Chain A
């Protein structure tokens, strides 16, 4: 069957094709006209990358006897200490282009709000980005005729830049190698488990930590050991399940640890 083209589509096609024909007649050849601009900018970009590399390498130093943790240069360290899954000594901090997500996690704190930061907002943005040309179908490309588009086009980058800056200057989630600030608790095997599984990126156990999940420095909001156990195993409210990540013994150690934080006496054994 032959296609029947709607009037609307014919109008669009005629407009586009007229424009294209005029372009073919009056336009400049891509080479050398546009290629000249391209070459200049490409050279500048590559030189900028090389310059950043040289500054990064020249101002930061390797890890050696005098600098066991490496030396930060103007553009950061060449590398930090080797990852040790057993102890979390640095705050988790993503690349700069993920800082806006990081900041969203700070703004939305409680578990149900967290759904906004991790799912709803990013998903809306991704979908909006992909389908934007199918939403904004107005034929006019002139800036003065696209008030809604311009509102989006200016506010989205402004919000992203603001979130990135806020995320960049925010204090880190964890400040030291201590988990609770109490050596008696820190010495327990559960402290190492907490550290190695990044629990402090969301919870504070007394020595600082994320604010994404409830503060556990005085024990859990619901001190019932069975509830704590269920929460660790199954997650919920934004927290992932850790059932597969720990052995049953380890989960029991964690439960005792958190109960102990509530009563103020470290569990024995």
Chain B
């Protein structure tokens, strides 16, 4: 008896079933993609742009890390090598540099949109809270990344930043000592800033973004508050 030719559609379905049975991912993806959102508009795109830029920073940052030398003698030379000699190194470094500024701008815009929509109100307090921690961590990324170029501007701006930080009572001197990792800016400092900038803080931000998005999907997107919504008639505080 001849074996019937396999039906391609059946094959796809069977493959999906195979994955579904073992992981449940197809259902998850479907629930994510086809969940209902209220009428949204362009202002609602800022969160996803932040995610895109964060991923872009992770990719360009990893590429930079492959050629970057986190030492007082090598840092500046490796930055010049990346910028002037490496194939498309300038593009990768530039995208990382300007992506950082874009990230900060987008953060402010996204926070603004969430604020004016009142989208941080019940029950989305924790979405805002994780977001504000992401915001502060991103500023810390800016601070630690700036020094890594090890040119004059970066060096002196960081010296001043760490000194200013040291003036804060109680924790200030402690944090400054931790950042400097020695009496003056040197090899220890650059390694420490590097570890914070490419490992610790991005890991933290990644985890926070995951929780943030989990909450966004779980709680649903807040509709524009301009019009009456169902549920309004339930008064009382």
Contact = CB atoms under 8 A, between A and B. Distances in A.
Given A28-B37, A241-B173, A37 B45 contact: yes
B208 interface: no
Interface in B210-234: 220-223, 225-226, 229-232, 234
Interface stretch (B2-10, B150-158, B191-199): B150-158
Interface in B98-120: 98-102, 104, 106, 108, 112, 115-120
Interface string A124-143: 00100111111011111111
A171 interface: no
Interface in B168-188: 168-169, 172-173, 176, 183-186
Interface residues on A, range: 35 or more
A148 interface: no
B139 interface: yes
Given A30-B37, A198-B160, A62 B120 contact: no
Interface string B108-140: 100010011111111111001100110110010
B56 A22 contact: no
A82 B81 CA distance: 13
Nearest to B231: A18
Interface stretch (A6-14, A225-233, A257-265): A6-14
Contacts of A134: 125
B33 interface: yes
Given A33-B37, A95-B146, A141 B121 contact: yes
Interface stretch (A48-56, A181-189, A215-223): A48-56
Contacts, number: 275
A89 interface: yes
A235 B177 CA distance: 14
A13 B24 CA distance: 30
A19 B164 contact: no
Nearest to B226: A142
B231 A8 contact: no
Contacts of A96: 101
A90 interface: yes
Interface of B: 32-42, 44-46, 48-49, 52-53, 56, 72, 76, 79-80, 83-84, 90-91, 94-95, 97-102, 104, 106, 108, 112, 115-125, 128-129, 132-133, 135-136, 139, 142-143, 146, 149-157, 159-161, 163-169, 172-173, 176, 183-186, 220-223, 225-226, 229-232, 234-237
8 contacts: A22-B231, A30-B34, A46-B53, A62-B80, A90-B152, A94-B160, A95-B157, A98-B143
Given A238-B167, A245-B184, 8 more contacts: A78-B90, A93-B153, A94-B161, A105-B164, A132-B120, A140-B118, A141-B118, A149-B118
